Structure 1
Amino acid sequence: MAVDRESLPDGTVLGPYHLQHHIAQGGFSLIYEGYDDDSGEEVVVKEYMPKKIARRGHAQRVIPSDPALAESFQRGRRLFFQEVKALASLQHPSIVRVVDFFLANETAYLVMPNERGRNLGAYVQERRGGLSTTFILSVFIPILDALSLLHQRAMVHLDVKPGNIHLRHGDRPILLDLGAVHPLKRGRTRGGQVITAGYSPLEQYLRDGRVGPWTDVYAVGASIRACMDGQTPLPAPQRQQQDTLTPATVEFKTRYPPELLEQVDWAMRMDIEQRPQDAGELLCAILKKVDKGVESISELSNPEMLRAARQLASS
């Protein structure tokens, strides 16, 4: 049973970081805005605080909500810390930079730069969908390139969705919530994974589901569709029972290039084997089939990344 999670009070100091206020929360964390006392730079601090098994104890400590949950809490904290350490080694213009990570208050903290901009999920809701082909490509080509790097490092994100994509000036995207990223392991099961209805494919719901890079691919396809439709796609379990989701090639045929719509439908196939097997495969397909769209966004995306992606697509 989930418990109310008490956030750290405004003004809390954690090492060199001065927390100003609590701004958001996820299934496994509380998120704060603050600044680095040493450099003066604005930062975002994520605190490991799983809502189902933890609460705030004495002297700001994070403790299991029940003694029987202590082992699960400690295992999750250890994995959070290990995964953030791995992410700190990643260098990509569309992956949020890890400034620092440390243990305090019996839990773990991730520190990231505070990048000014807007959230893609909020923008989709505000516009009610209908985002242009150029905009969609300018956002998702860099995101796919970033996911491709994760997949090459045997890591999966497992919570790709518009709400986890931040748009900086010029709509340059950054993939957020890297605390959800997991090392890819043979035979990996569901345990502890975040599930977001509409964006998580069926294998994420199943205890013995085969999760992998193809799981992120489904989420990308669902996110692109949300940009077109303005609403969250039908959840995967409902699609399994009765798939009433109209193919994108039919639903949006008068509004978007068929080549792009074909890739969205391919990414959102229910059968794992019928999807692109990783982000790189989907990225290559998009670059090959939507060449005119790629040319039109060359000034909005990272030129070096686009050149490298085109070389990959032509190989």
Structure 2
Amino acid sequence: MAEYYDPETYPQQWNYLQSGTIIDQYMIERELAHGGFSSVYLARQLEDQIQVAIKEYLPRKLAHRTWNNVVTPNDEEARQMFMRGRALFFEEAKVLATLKHHNIVEVINFFQANETVYMVMTYDYGITLDRILQKKILPITDDFLLTVFRLLLKGVEVIHSHHLVHLDIKPANILIRADSDPLLLDFGAIRKFPSPPSSNRAKVLTNGFSPVEQYDNRGNIGPWTDIYAVGASMRACLDLKVPPASTDRLGHDGLLPAVKAYKRKFPESLLQAIDWAMQINPADRPQTVAELEQALNA
């Protein structure tokens, strides 16, 4: 018999692990963030007290946490989707554990507990780029942009060298550490390329940063897809707002090219690189990180 779950009366504190909870070899300190599919916690390793970030698979539309922290599907109908998502989350952790680069968040452990799965990552101090833009914490200069995105592209290049694409590059997923040193976060959308078109492919979209091929289940996904998102993230730094959705730019493109909007305010080579990366047609963009790097270094 399926357990009855009423989200209106379900205790809110059970939606995340409480401070002091011990799980595997870690003690939870507090929740850092949560989304529709997971929660992220600040925790400490019990052995050496080093702080880490722990990501827990908990799709809130499909499952909930019981009083003893076990994560269970809401009903039998949700169970199959929950199990499939849990397997994909675990595969994501295994893939990320193989990616080692200073500008990519590092997965140092992953394990199963409470009928779900957990990913343990290094914890870095900094401010996400979207918050910097919203709060105007730092001046957006060409030196800042070139430093951040040249370094970020080094990490993206490593991802692509493993025949993977991130598919969710945006200011909210770029942590800016001291000396404008970026760290790329959240690999929940990562997938292999090339891959055959699929009508069953789950879409991971962020309006303003996802290119048109990401909206199409049969779209041709590759390094050029991440390159659009990098260009859109740079454009967001200039505009201090999210660019228009790529699908809204089809047909009549109302976005003024950066070379016109910011003429004489930023180096022309930087503006040209942004416009090139944000071309609607995937074939019109840089096809590799190396091409975009060359444009930025012009």
3-state SS of paired residue (1:43) = strand
The answer on 1:25 being equivalent to 2:28 is: no
**The one of 92, 95, 117 aligned to 2:101:** 92
One-letter amino acid matched to 1:248: A
C-alpha distance in 1, partners of 2:86/2:164?
A: 18
Which position in structure 1 is the counterpart of 2:111? 102
Unaligned stretches of 5+ residues in structure 2: 1-6
Asked if 1 retains the 8 angstrom alpha-carbon contact of 2:270 and 2:295, the reply is no
Q: 1:272-283 alignment to 2 at 5 Å? A: 272-283=282-293
TM-score by length of 2: 0.90
One-letter amino acid matched to 1:247: P
TM-score by length of 1: 0.85
Q: How far apart are 1:238 and its partner, in Å?
A: 1.4
Q: 1:1-315 alignment to 2 at 5 Å? A: 6-57=15-66, 59-127=68-136, 131-189=140-198, 191-240=201-250, 242-287=252-297, 289=298
Q: Quick check: 273-282 or 126-135, which moved more?
A: 126-135
C-alpha distance in 2, partners of 1:64/1:235?
A: 34
Q: Percent of aligned positions with the same letter in both sequences?
A: 40
Asked if 1 retains the 8 angstrom alpha-carbon contact of 2:197 and 2:217, the reply is no
Q: How far apart are 1:268 and its partner, in Å?
A: 0.7
Unaligned stretches of 5+ residues in structure 1: 290-315
Q: How far apart are 1:184 and its partner, in Å?
A: 2.5
C-alpha distance in 2, partners of 1:230/1:128?
A: 12
Q: How far apart are 1:128 and its partner, in Å?
A: 8.3
C-alpha distance in 2, partners of 1:66/1:222?
A: 40
Q: Decide whether aligned partners of structure 1 residues 110 and 146 sit closer, same or farther in structure 2, where only a CA change above 3 A counts.
A: same
C-alpha distance in 2, partners of 1:151/1:286?
A: 19
C-alpha distance in 1, partners of 2:220/2:37?
A: 22
Aligned CA RMSD, in angstroms, stands at: 2.0
Larger RCO: 1 or 2 (CA < 8 Å, sep 6+): 1
Q: How far apart are 1:88 and its partner, in Å?
A: 0.9
More helix by share: 1
Asked if 2 retains the 8 angstrom alpha-carbon contact of 1:201 and 1:236, the reply is yes
Q: How far apart are 1:151 and its partner, in Å?
A: 0.6
